[in-house]
């Protein structure tokens, strides 16, 4: 197997950490000796041992004189766990191959330099693009302090997310909905507008087949604090909390009652006819929320695009045609007058989930890596 093949195995291991490592990145590592794997590991959960430690422990004494392949530059600082560089030196690793440097500008390159200064060669940049894409959430948050934002919708082929009566159950099939719950599991926050809460009373929780899914923080745009105090987003049994983004003029008494129920109320100025979503993202970043999944509705989707907060889109299209112009569109509100002013989407990819098609890509200028 080649160096690329070894790193591909490390990347596959890293993906097993999806949803369990935030705010840390997903990292995988393998220990290779005489052309064979002698140790494998990944960062399994936040606060737990890093991938390098797990891989070296898996290799045991066979790690001495072996090569280590890791998807992210080994850390050289003490956080919740000791520095991985010290573990690498103590294990007698011969060489270290790294996919990407740490994106945090305060520590980037420090781990590699530490090892090189002590006689351990470090080779970087193997499958770097794949590693950056895998940890695009971590990369943006480390560089900007703001969450990575995915705008998701489910629509008919003619671009409607619900009928004129608001019926949207179900636009897409089971396979697409299962993938969305897998997506929720890996995101720190999920955002909807008050219109969605009033119309559907959703729980906004994660429901995976194995029951291991983690719930994202529920974020509601509600400028006037019109949310019912018995809404599921406020009362559902969940380890994740709720954040209500309200306007500066929203009633103080209602805000107090919501806070007493455990919700966090954020006051925001208005911008462009709605709440200032850029300011909201800054506040969420300060709260340690590294990623947000925007799920609806159509005015929220339009606002997210116009505010420039979306980094990535994930549009699921079902093989259905509503056949009228009175259903609810993906985006609602005034758009540009000219096609030249449309929002470009780049690096597009297409996947199938059952009979549905997922189109995903990066909003032009939104992808940090």
Residues 32-42, mean pLDDT to the nearest whole number: 97
pTM: 0.93
Number of neighbouring beta carbons within 10 Å of residue 118 = 10
Per-residue pLDDT, 368: 44
Average of per-residue pLDDT across 188-199: 96
322-338: per-residue pLDDT in tens?
999 999 999 999 999 99
d(Cα 275, Cα 269) in Å, to the nearest integer?
6
- Window from 70-79, 143-152, 319-328, 336-345 with minimum mean pLDDT: 70-79
259 — phi, psi (to 5°)?
Answer: -65, -40
- Token pair of 329, please? 């569109």
Residue 365: the pLDDT is 55
Residue 184 has, within 13 A of its CA and on its CB side, a CA count of 24
- Whether the predicted pLDDT of 369 surpasses 70: no
Reply yes or no on whether the pLDDT at 222 is more than 90. yes
Strand partners of residue 306: none
Q: Give the E-state strand segments of the chain in sequence order.
A: 28-33, 36-42, 67-72, 95-100, 122-124, 148-155, 160-162, 189-193, 217-221, 242-247, 264-268, 270-271, 274-275, 291-296, 312-317, 328-329, 345-353, 356-363
Rounded to whole angstroms, the Cα distance separating 56 from 36 reads 14
pLDDT of 364 strictly over 80 = no
Mean residue pLDDT of the chain comes to 94
pLDDT at 76: 86
Q: How far is CA 122 from CA 12, 84, 128, in A?
A: 21, 14, 14
Average pLDDT over residues 209-232: 94
Active site residues: 52
Give the tokens for residue 326.
Answer: 């009175």
The string of pLDDT tens digits covering residues 167-180 is 998 999 999 999 99
Question: What is the per-residue pLDDT across 125-135, written as a single tens digit (0 to 9) for each?
Answer: 999 999 999 99
Name the more confident of 76 and 278: 278
Phi, psi torsion values for 74, nearest 5 degrees: -60, 140
pLDDT at position 195 over 80: yes
8 Å CB contact between 141 and 134:
no
Span 235-242, mean pLDDT? 95
Other C-beta atoms within 10 Å of 144: how many? 13
- pLDDT exceeds cutoff 50 at 299: yes
- Name the nearest CA neighbour of 45 among 68, 71, 31, 25: 25
Tokens of 248: 């500066």
- Expressed in percent and rounded to 5, the helix, strand and coil fractions of the chain are 30, 25, 45
């Amino acid at each position: 197997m080649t160096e690329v093949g070894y790193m591909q195995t490390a990347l596959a291991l890293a993906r097993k950490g999806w949803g369990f490592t935030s705010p840390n990145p997903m990292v995988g590592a393998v220990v290779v000796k005489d052309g064979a794997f002698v140790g494998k590991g990944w960062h399994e959960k936040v606060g737990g041992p890093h991938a390098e430690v797990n891989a070296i422990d898996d290799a045991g004494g066979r790690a001495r004189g072996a090569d280590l392949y890791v998807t992210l530059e080994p850390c050289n600082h003490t956080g919740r766990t000791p520095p991985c560089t010290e573990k690498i030196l103590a294990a007698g690793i011969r060489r270290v191959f790294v996919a990407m440097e740490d994106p945090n500008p305060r520590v980037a390159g420090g781990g590699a330099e530490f090892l090189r200064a002590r006689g351990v060669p470090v080779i970087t940049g193997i499958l770097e693009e794949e590693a950056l894409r895998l940890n695009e959430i971590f990369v943006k948050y480390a560089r900007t302090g703001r969450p990575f934002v995915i705008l998701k919708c489910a629509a008919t082929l003619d671009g409607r997310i619900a009928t004129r009566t608001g019926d949207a159950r179900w636009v897409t099939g089971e396979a697409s909905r299962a993938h969305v719950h897998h997506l929720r599991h890996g995101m720190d926050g999920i955002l909807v507008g008050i219109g969605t809460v009033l119309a559907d009373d959703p729980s906004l929780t994660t429901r995976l087949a194995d029951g291991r899914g983690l719930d994202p923080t529920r974020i509601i745009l509600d400028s006037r604090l019109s949310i019912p105090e018995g809404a599921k987003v406020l009362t559902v049994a969940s380890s994740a909390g709720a954040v209500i983004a309200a306007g500066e003029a929203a009633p103080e008494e209602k805000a107090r009652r919501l806070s007493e129920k455990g919700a966090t109320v954020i006051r925001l100025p208005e911008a462009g006819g709605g709440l200032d979503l850029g300011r909201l993202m800054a506040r969420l970043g300060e709260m340690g929320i590294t990623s947000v999944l925007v799920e609806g509705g159509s005015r929220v989707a339009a606002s997210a695009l116009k505010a420039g907060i979306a980094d990535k889109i994930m549009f699921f299209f079902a093989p259905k045609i509503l056949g009228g112009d009175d259903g609810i569109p993906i985006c609602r509100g005034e758009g540009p007058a000219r096609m030249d002013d449309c929002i470009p989407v780049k690096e597009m990819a297409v996947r199938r989930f059952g009979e549905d098609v997922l189109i995903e890509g990066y909003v032009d200028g939104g992808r940090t890596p």
